[in-house]
């Protein structure tokens, strides 16, 4: 038996796979974290890509907004924001003229305890901290993209003199990659702007790891350009959420440099597909709910044979995670019905139901989680299992004892490239 430790919630579980069945383990390439992450962030700020240093771009009295990732992401805002504030202070910008705005997109507001963890107590004392609300009436129209998306953004963000984006660059299953421009759209955009953008996910190029020809990405980039972003600070992290490298400077140039490093770490070659893929989304916060954890199932589909089995180990302590996701899985019975609804009246959260239904057409999906079994089975149409042993036994029953097995340790952030 081969023993493999997989992240599950805030812990790890040891999975045992028969050696004769195991094809391999799909995991990100090993990149060491920076020995001094704060020094790495400061290095990036001192060597910006495609722009001058930040301190030369601002002046005393400027109103500055810095976006930060919300509670659903592992981005180390507590590490990035203080050096930015120091750079601003160096140029005479006072802390009271700076606002940190959580780029929540359609997610709920960040709670005070979460804000303290995400930013650190010192940042909370220094500057005003807000959460973006996509449903608020306080949005400002800033222009229209070439796709026809009317871009409205948070009023506080729009009315700032200087706009800075922070976040982490990683793979995203229909925007191609997270990070950079995504802090504007969906981060601080109105619900209508986000819905217009995300409805383009039906496009064949709206895929993980794809930017060229991807309308979701291109629309996001145009929106960020309309927003007149002055500066970005993004990091790329390894599978242990350690900062490998920081990238600062121009909206496009710094982001694309981050993308290059993400490809080196997270695009993983696989010789052949397997009958069974055991996948962990990567533990907390990637498996905080089924809405987030689905991304791991999505990438596992790249490595599983048609009609095979995906065995997902995702804690999901917050349940399904999205009201519309739940409603669409209840309301619509077929993939075709969902496609029509996306074209006619796209509502965010529906896309996750669409992807899940599409996944179920390709593979059996077994879920080990803390969600109620009847909800897993009856609403989300997945096969529940109490633990990995029961899940793997069910998988072997479906595709045979001689089935080939691949194991993915960090499904949400890893992209198998088969045959490369």
Catalytic machinery residues? 107, 172
Cβ neighbour number for residue 3 with a 10 Å cutoff? 8
Tokens of residue 69, six digits: 């990732």
Please tell me the distance from the alpha carbon of residue 66 to that of residue 76, in angstroms, as a whole number: 14
Tokens of residue 168, six digits: 């982490």
336-370 CB burial, b ≥16 within 10 A, e <16: eebeebbeeebbbbbbbbbbbbebbeebbbbbbbe
CA 165 to chain centre: 16
Where helices occur in 209-364 by DSSP H, the ranges are 215-226, 251-266, 290-300, 323-331, 335-345, 350-362
Cβ neighbour number for residue 9 with a 10 Å cutoff? 20
Where helices occur in 13-154 by DSSP H, the ranges are 37-46, 77-90, 112-119, 121-126
Please tell me the distance from the alpha carbon of residue 110 to that of residue 100, in angstroms, as a whole number: 12
Cβ neighbour number for residue 143 with a 10 Å cutoff? 14
Cβ neighbour number for residue 123 with a 10 Å cutoff? 23
CA 231 to chain centre: 21
| Residue 391, H or E segment | helix 388-399
């Amino acid at each position: 038996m081969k023993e493999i430790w997989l992240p599950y919630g805030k812990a790890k579980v040891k999975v045992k796979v028969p050696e004769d069945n195991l094809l391999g383990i799909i995991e990100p390439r090993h990149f060491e974290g920076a020995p001094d992450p704060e020094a790495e962030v400061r290095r990036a700020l001192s060597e910006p890509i495609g722009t001058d240093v930040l301190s030369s771009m601002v002046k005393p009295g400027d109103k500055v907004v810095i976006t930060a990732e919300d509670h659903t992401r592992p981005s180390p805002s507590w590490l990035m924001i203080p050096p930015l504030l120091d750079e601003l202070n160096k140029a005479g910008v006072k802390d009271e003229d700076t606002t940190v705005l959580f780029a929540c997109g359609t997610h709920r507001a960040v709670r005070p305890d979460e804000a303290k963890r995400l930013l650190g107590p010192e940042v909370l004392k220094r500057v005003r901290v807000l959460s973006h609300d996509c449903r608020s009436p306080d949005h400002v129209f800033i222009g229209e993209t070439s796709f026809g998306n009317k871009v409205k953004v948070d009023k506080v963000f729009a009315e700032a003199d200087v706009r800075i984006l922070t976040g982490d660059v990683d793979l995203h299953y229909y925007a191609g990659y997270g990070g950079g421009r995504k802090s504007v759209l969906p981060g601080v955009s109105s619900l209508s702007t986000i819905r217009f953008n995300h409805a383009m996910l039906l496009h064949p190029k709206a895929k993980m790891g794809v930017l060229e020809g991807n309308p979701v990405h291109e629309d996001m980039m145009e929106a960020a350009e309309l927003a007149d972003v002055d500066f970005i600070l993004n990091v790329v992290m390894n599978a242990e959420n350690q900062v490998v490298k920081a990238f600062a400077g121009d909206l496009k140039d710094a982001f694309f440099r981050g993308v290059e490093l993400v490809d080196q770490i997270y695009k993983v070659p696989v010789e052949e597909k397997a009958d069974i893929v055991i996948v962990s989304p990567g533990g907390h916060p990637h498996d905080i709910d089924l809405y987030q954890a689905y991304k791991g199932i999505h990438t596992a589909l790249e490595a599983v044979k048609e009609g095979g089995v995906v065995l997902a180990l995702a804690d999901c302590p917050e349940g399904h995670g999205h009201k519309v996701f739940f409603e669409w899985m209840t309301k619509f019975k077929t993939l075709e019905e969902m496609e029509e609804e996306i074209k006619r009246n796209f509502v965010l959260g529906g896309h996750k139901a669409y992807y899940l239904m599409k996944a179920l057409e390709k593979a059996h999906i077994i879920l080990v989680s803390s969600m109620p079994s009847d909800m897993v089975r009856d609403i989300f149409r997945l096969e529940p299992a109490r633990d990995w042993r029961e899940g793997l036994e069910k998988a072997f029953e479906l595709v045979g004892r001689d089935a080939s097995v691949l194991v993915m340790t960090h499904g949400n952030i890893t992209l198998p490239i088969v045959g490369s």
